[in-house]
Structure 1
Amino acid sequence: MTSVDVAITTRPSATCDADLAKGPWEFDLSPGYGPGASEDDVIPDPVTRPGQLPTAYQRMSEDELHERIRNTKKALGDKLVILGHFYQRDEVVQYADFVGDSFQLANAALTKPDAETIVFCGVHFMAETADILARPEQRVILPNLAAGCSMADMADEDSVESAWEDLMELYGDEPDADGRQPVIPVTYMNSSAALKAFCGRHGGIVCTSSNASTVLEWAFERGQRVLFFPDQHLGRNTAKAMGIGLDQMPMWNPRKPLGGNTEEVLRDAKVLLWHGFCSVHKRFTVDQIEQARAEHPGVRVIVHPECPMPVVDAADESGSTDYIRKAIEGGRPGDVFAIGTEINMVNRLQAEHPEMTIFCLDPVICPCSTMYRIHPGYLAWTLDGLLEGEVRNQIVVADDVATDAKVALERMLAALPAGTK
């Protein structure tokens, strides 16, 4: 039984979508993000990242797929490095040379300069980032090209460029008396290479959930205000923790003139929040936290900062996936944790720490529908291709985009999370 099977059958009366147990190739060519996705997700049209797993691999048994992966990985040796995000299913993440969050994996890719191929078991924007940071002769593979990110797709290049033009017309482009620019663009790692390049061109930076506060401090040293995209919740929670008032954080809706704001509101703004979100973390609620506390007195509630602000406020703590992992590793036998993040990671933490009780706040088990697209079948197929001299599903960022994006990413890598030595 796979980790996805376990996830959706744990509480069958409260299942997100039974289709999650099917092979993801059944949905790769369909519009949308597949089973488990939020009904609020913006569906890209046309679908730009189709899957292409050959039928032979769809029909292989689990044992055969895993044998192929093990043998090919061994044959390729140091020529190959596999990166796996925390949210990946267990059947895939077991083969990763590095497992981590976006910030950690961006750094991990740099530690293997001799590897000819980087296989990124994550989603599209992560593979793009690896390609940007890799040496020119290194190749980056995304096992399933349909593994996108609904949040990343909520901020497209045209919409951000249009918003920037409106803001420049309103604010002008002259610095203040302290030399700070009118606005600094900050994009979350969960965004396209084109938007990272946009930030590089306009004096901006990329952030992750690990270093978001450090990045905002960096931005305010250089700018009077920040345009933060695509995740409104990470931006709001981070800025609020820094003491910025909610009245100074208007939402920018790209479908409305001036983002749905008046000029007066925008002039008083400190952080302009893009109308985007993570469909997984949006599912968590204050009611779920209250129920966890009622059922488990003394429970420690930790949520990801992509959760809505009321959820973060009601929790005991919030932090990145690595923060959550470290918090649990620092726990004691008998401790009880209620976690607000993706279910594959939560289940893995419980398996690794049977001496504690660790459970997901959301009773409706719902893996990230796009991370779920990475399946052992795709990993086996792309690795077999390397042995056959064929690079399958290579991710290549155009040189002009990569140059500007790398500027913003290098600023991100230099902005170490608080407490990091």
Structure 2
Amino acid sequence: MSILDMVKGRTDAMLPEKYKTMSTEEMEKRIRRIKQSLGTKLFIPGHHYQKNEVIQFADATGDSLQLAQICAANEQAEHIVFCGVHFMAETADILTTDDQTVYLPDMRAGCSMADMADIFQTERAWIDLQERFGDTILPLTYVNSTAAIKAFVGRHHGATVTSSNAREIVEWAFTQKKRILFLPDQHLGRNTAFDLGIPLTHMAVWNPISDILEYDGTDKDCQVILWKGHCSVHENFTVENIRQIRENEPDRRIIVHPECTHEVVRKSDDNGSTKYIIEQITAGAPGTKWAIGTEMNLVNRLIENHPEQDIISLNPLVCPCLTMNRIDLPHLLWCLENIVEGIAQNVITVDEATSSEAVSALDRMLESV
């Protein structure tokens, strides 16, 4: 179900006017008061891409799966206010107990990549691909996907992957089947498979809009089927950005996220997950010069936290993740005050059947690394 479907016709899901006119000082004061009064009953995880106005109130920061696992381990928290996007809150609900409630401060905080693979498109694609290749395909999905897609993958004996463990999971997948279907980010799938020695000529792309397999090779050579999806932020880092850095500042090291295009990843000095990028910057010597190809809020935070280094964005014109940035101070306060008043607003719930199958995909990943 898309974010639009969930909020359609629900005027009560819109932020009340009073929060739009409240001062920042007043909102911050109210949030601190609520956090203090609820104590350990409240837990606020904040994704690395959140704005500082929100991340200052996070009880833990991290990537999506890491935060969901932290939520699952925090049995004291009755209320989990997930400052991220919809699929992240879904994963938290899947992994936590029935006694815990997961909230998303703004239900419009989706993920364009996750929305590029819905379950109806995926079921159609699977039928066509099975007819073409037979029972030779194992599905894998990036954790940046809906609960329904994770459940689909679990139902068909596949696994989830993160940008940190994609290589290990793809290696495992090829011990299970001859081919993989990689959802929903084609760039992470392509970059990972290429690093494992699979040539680009052995990779096809499934177009979910036209229901066509885009591939010039022979079926027997096809090893990887990439879903035609991408991250709207990371696809905006270009080879031209790299060319300009190389020409003007050849001593500046370029590090990018593997959600960037294959050409950008290949021309960079290094690439890795958000966690990996943070670790590399943290370990960098004073005076080290970096150009980072990832979300702008994180880059700005790294610049603030490491003044001893010279850090810039690989593309200074790239905007922050717009859907992630829907989680702001007014929405966070609104969500918390609803909790205090006993109003069940913006609750994220994944049904039991979907959760069970999604957990199988998550468990296979954890067992394989």
Q: Settle same-fold status: TM greater than 0.5.
A: yes
Which residue does the alignment assign to 2:281? 328
Answer yes or no: is 1:71 the counterpart of 2:24. Answer: no
Whichever residue aligns with residue 127 of structure 2, its letter is: E
Q: C-alpha distance in 1, partners of 2:303/2:368?
A: 31
- Offset at residue 399 of structure 1 (A): 1.2
Secondary structure of 2:307's aligned partner:
coil
Is the Cα contact below 8 Å between 2:153 and 2:159 reproduced in 1? yes
Instruction: Select 2:225's aligned residue among 272, 293, 297.
Output: 272
Q: C-alpha distance in 2, partners of 1:116/1:366?
A: 35
Structure 2 counterparts to residues 185-224 of structure 1, below 5 A:
185-224=139-178
Secondary structure of 1:306's aligned partner:
coil
Is the Cα contact below 8 Å between 2:49 and 2:324 reproduced in 1? yes
Cα distance change on mapping 1:225 and 1:195 into 2, 3 Å: same
Cα distance change on mapping 1:335 and 1:45 into 2, 3 Å: closer
Is the Cα contact below 8 Å between 1:49 and 1:147 reproduced in 2? no
Structure 2 counterparts to residues 13-162 of structure 1, below 5 A:
48-49=6-7, 51-162=13-124
Secondary structure of 2:290's aligned partner:
strand
Which residue does the alignment assign to 1:31? none
Q: C-alpha distance in 2, partners of 1:45/1:80?
A: 25
- Offset at residue 268 of structure 1 (A): 2.0
Which residue does the alignment assign to 1:308? 261
Which residue does the alignment assign to 2:344? 391
Which residue does the alignment assign to 1:377? 330
Instruction: Select 2:298's aligned residue among 345, 351, 355.
Output: 345
- Offset at residue 49 of structure 1 (A): 4.0
- Offset at residue 261 of structure 1 (A): 4.2
Note the residue ranges of structure 2 that are not aligned, 5 or more in a row: none
Is the Cα contact below 8 Å between 2:150 and 2:358 reproduced in 1? yes
Aligned residues: 364
Answer yes or no: is 1:184 the counterpart of 2:152. Answer: no
Identity %: 51
- Offset at residue 278 of structure 1 (A): 0.6
Whichever residue aligns with residue 349 of structure 1, its letter is: L
- Offset at residue 333 of structure 1 (A): 0.8
Cα shift readout 1:354-411 (whole Å, capped 9, x = no counterpart): 0111110112140101001000111111111121122321000111111111111222
Which residue does the alignment assign to 1:231? 185
Normalising to structure 1: TM-score of the pair? 0.84
Which residue does the alignment assign to 1:176? none
Q: C-alpha distance in 1, partners of 2:266/2:317?
A: 22
Q: C-alpha distance in 2, partners of 1:387/1:96?
A: 18
Q: C-alpha distance in 2, partners of 1:116/1:230?
A: 32
Q: C-alpha distance in 1, partners of 2:175/2:345?
A: 43
- Offset at residue 414 of structure 1 (A): 3.5
Is the Cα contact below 8 Å between 1:280 and 1:367 reproduced in 2? yes
Normalising to structure 2: TM-score of the pair? 0.95
Q: C-alpha distance in 2, partners of 1:52/1:346?
A: 30
Q: C-alpha distance in 2, partners of 1:392/1:403?
A: 25
Alignment root-mean-square deviation, CA: 1.6
Q: C-alpha distance in 1, partners of 2:219/2:338?
A: 52
Is the Cα contact below 8 Å between 2:236 and 2:318 reproduced in 1? no
Q: C-alpha distance in 2, partners of 1:387/1:46?
A: 27
